[in-house]
Amino acid sequence: MTSNKVKLEVPKDILGNWQEIVNILAGTIKIPAALIMRYNDPYIEVFVSSKSEGNPYHPGDKEKLYGSGLYCEKVIKTKDKLLVPDALADVNWKNNPDVKLNMISYLGFPILLPDGKPFGTICVLDNKHNEHSENIVKLMLKFCSMIESHLELIYMNQIFGDKNKRLTDYLIELQALRGLVPICARCKSIRDDQDNWHPIEYYLIRHPEVEFSHGICPECMKKLYPEFNDGS
């Protein structure tokens, strides 16, 4: 697998948000460990670890990924969810390295960069049999999506070469380039060819080559100029 070519620097404020995410997961599910793992070829590293009782994982802990037999290896390879309710009862997982730490249950999801390459995983581990409810799966998917949204912003800022700029600051620089795309002057939503409005992050990730012209989206028109709203 190709390693990540863009070495993302995650700002401290976002790291703080990620710490809250893993703490919430560990406390809600009542498990010893919730982790955000980072893949940095050839290693997989504990990037953020929940501050929960009995957690044997610490930020900076790392192992070579491929051939390790780790749960996260499977998630990175398949880019898909992995649920192992009880490794001791599963011939495919009973000898994996996390069993030595008494982490016999695992639920994890891949965290992907905007270009589809793996950033790492978000996962929860338990020292007892755990099937995990559908609500827990949904919660983890929500957190995974949130982390990927953070990565989209970081990724775009680094691609443009200034990590201190906000995405909206690039609108000025992108003007006078290529074709015009309408952008709402108030909320920065962007209108596509089908007259649908999207968040700026959604559009820039998919169309980094465009420039923008200003307009007003329907929702902002209602708020700013109610006298021109026909009530539809």
pLDDT band (50, 70, 90) for residue 232:
very low
* Mean pLDDT computed over 72-89: 97
Query: Who wins on pLDDT, 172 or 22?
Result: 22
Q: Which of 102-116, 135-149, 160-174 is the least confident region?
A: 160-174
Q: What is the pLDDT of residue 186?
A: 59
How are beta strands 180-184 and 211-215 bridged, if at all?
A: parallel
Nearest-angstrom CA–CA distance, 50 and 36: 9
- For the chain, domain boundaries: 12-160, 167-228
Per-residue pLDDT at 56: 98
Distance CA 99, CA 51 (A): 20
Which residues does 45 contact at the CB level (< 8 Å), separation at least 6?
Answer: 37, 38, 39, 60, 61, 62, 120
Please check the confidence at residue 125 and state whether its pLDDT lies above 90.
yes
pLDDT on residue 165: 53
Write down the architecture of domain 12-160 according to CATH: 2-Layer Sandwich (3.30)
Report residue 230's pLDDT band, with 50, 70 and 90 as the boundaries.
low
**Contact between 215 and 183 (Cβ < 8 Å):** yes
Q: Please determine, for residue 74, whether its predicted confidence score (pLDDT) is greater than 70.
A: yes
Residue located via tokens 């996962």: 123
Q: How far apart are CA 220 and CA 230, in angstroms?
A: 14
- What pLDDT is recorded for position 69? 95
CA torsion sign for 156, 145, 129, 92 is negative
What distance in Å separates the CA atoms of residue 130 and residue 89, rounded to the nearest whole number? 12
Q: Residues 111-131: what's their mean pLDDT? A: 95
Q: pLDDT tens-digit profile of 21-49?
A: 999 999 999 999 999 999 999 999 999 99
Cis before 42? omega within 30: yes
CA-closest candidate to residue 103, choices 20, 35, 39, 23? 35
